[in-house]
Structure 1
Amino acid sequence: MAKRSNKGIYYALVIHILWWGCLLWALQLDFNLANPWIYVAFLLQTHLYTGLFITAHDAMHGTVSKNRKLNKAVGAISALLFSFNFYNRLNKKHHEHHRFVATDKDPDYHHGSFWPWYFSFLKQYISIWQILLMAISYNLLKLFIPWKNLVFLWMAPAVLSTFQLFYFGTYQPHKGEHSAANEQKSTSQSLNHWKAFFTCYFFGYHYEHHISPGTPWWKLPKLKEKIAGEGYPG
């Protein structure tokens, strides 16, 4: 397990600053489908939403800060910014995933094809309170901000980010059968750090995360290089 430090705070701060900066910029853009910046803002905001969730996730493993209260506070704020997710609820389910990986008790796992699994995944993590809070926020914000900007540059990137997190961080690593020697029931994305970062902040290196959940996202590449050289159990 990686040694805990406070370096995660700086990574979390960068992600939060970029998320807010991109959002404030995107919301004041002239929403015109001929405007290329609309698409740039959409993709950036999607990637930064994923970064918020990854930050909350790292907090669940205590890797954002050695200070427990600060670690939890950063995790809770990150989760709330991601469409009003609640940190304690996410934390409980995520640790169940690690404890019961790829079993019927694993909230992230589903015996079935891609789309049924995706909707099962969403049902585990979307609550009525999130929907209500998003609806209230949207109706208040549209008094000051054009609805198209809110829907396509604030809400839609969050939805696409759930797809990104699911596909690269849950479905791809855990689908199919795994050998008895693979206790983590996980596979790992091929060694390509650029691809791994832009797809899911290195969480495609999922086997590595499962064998060392105390390794923060930004240290997974080194762990990947080490394990790739040693070989995988299958």
Structure 2
Amino acid sequence: MGLLLGAGIFGAWLATLVLALLAEPAGWTPAALGLVIALRTLLQTGLFILGHDAMHRTLVPGRQRLNDGLGRLALLLYAGLPYARCRRHHLRHHRFPGSRLDPDFRRAIGDGALRWYARFMGNYLSLGQLVLLLASWLAVAGGLMLLEPRQALAVPTFWVLPLVLSSFQLFLFGTYLPHRGDGSSPAGRHAVRSLGYPHLLSLLACYHFGYHREHHAHPGVPWFRLPQLRGHVPHQHGHGYGPADDSRPLRPGR
């Protein structure tokens, strides 16, 4: 199931990118423009979710080489991210959530969302990756200009902007809201919390990663099965729930 859904996300991301880049610029209405940007943002986020599941070895369970290869491809297409480094950082996040060893957590209680977001992105993006992204965008934009000068505007509109919006989406629903705390945990303690959105909204928000306590409790469960865990993970304070590299599937109803 994970591989089939992954193939669908990969295919839809590529198809919508090509179609959007080649569409007639004058043919877009504001409503169509907004809808396609939203769809491209959701699919862009989906690439990272596939890379994330690959980090937990749940994208293609039992076939580590294929799993890691697809994870590398997903993160490369997402933003030129290096799979090995992202995996090291993410597994540290699972082992030490909310501590100084957690690369995704804020440094101080008073840190605001923007400072936290900037540090979060700095942990995953490097100058070399930014150069690679810029070179890719300029190369494609240059090719489109040969067809129609205005066509080059499709690159920032349908490729760059969805990536930026996706990074906010992942940070907001996958890191900031689940890990910021709500004042109910004891002073100095960190508590992972779930967002409790309805099923469709949970899917659209960030591929069910609003079920964040469930994910930390069972990191070996892929994104599309997280809703099955609702109500099976007790609310608790503290730093973590289980091993970050546990890829054993959870039986339905467990």
- The answer to whether 1:232 aligns with 2:235 is yes
Q: TM-score, normalised by structure 1?
A: 0.90
In the alignment, does 2:93 pair up with 1:97?
yes
Distance 1:34 1:232 in 2: 46
Is contact 1:53-1:79 (8 Å) kept? Answer: yes
Match of 2:10 among 16, 24, 31: 16
Tell me if 1:221 matches 2:227: yes
**1:84 to 1:178, Cα distance in 2 relative to 1, 3 A:** farther
Whole-Å separation in 2 of the counterparts to 1:216 and 1:10? 13
Matched residue, 2:64: 68
Answer whether contact 2:58 2:221 (CA < 8 A) is retained: yes
Distance 2:124 2:158 in 1: 22
Unaligned residue ranges in structure 1 (runs of 5+): 1-6
Amino acid at match of 1:158: L
Distance of 2:72 and 2:155 partners within structure 1 = 23
1:97–1:106 CA contact under 8 A, matched in 2: yes
Instruction: State the 1:29 CA deviation.
Output: 2.4
Q: Which runs of 4+ in 1 moved over 6 A?
A: none
- With the length of structure 2 as denominator, give the TM-score of the two structures: 0.83
Query: Which residue type is aligned with residue 21 of structure 1?
Result: A
State the match for 1:56 in structure 2: 51
How far, CA to CA, are the matches of 1:63 and 1:185 in structure 2? 25
Q: Which letter maps to 1:57? A: H
| Match status 1:149 vs 2:144 | no
Task: Output the amino acid matched with 2:6.
Answer: A
> C-alpha distance in 2, partners of 1:70/1:178?
42
What residue ranges of structure 2 are gaps of 5+ in the alignment?
145-150, 238-254
CA drift of 1:36 comes to 2.8
Mapped contact 2:141–2:153 kept (Cα < 8 A): no
Structure number, greater radius of gyration: 2
Q: Deviations over 1:29-88 (max 9, x none)?
A: 233564432221111010001100000000000101120000001100000000211111
State the distance in 2 between where 1:89 and 1:37 align. 37
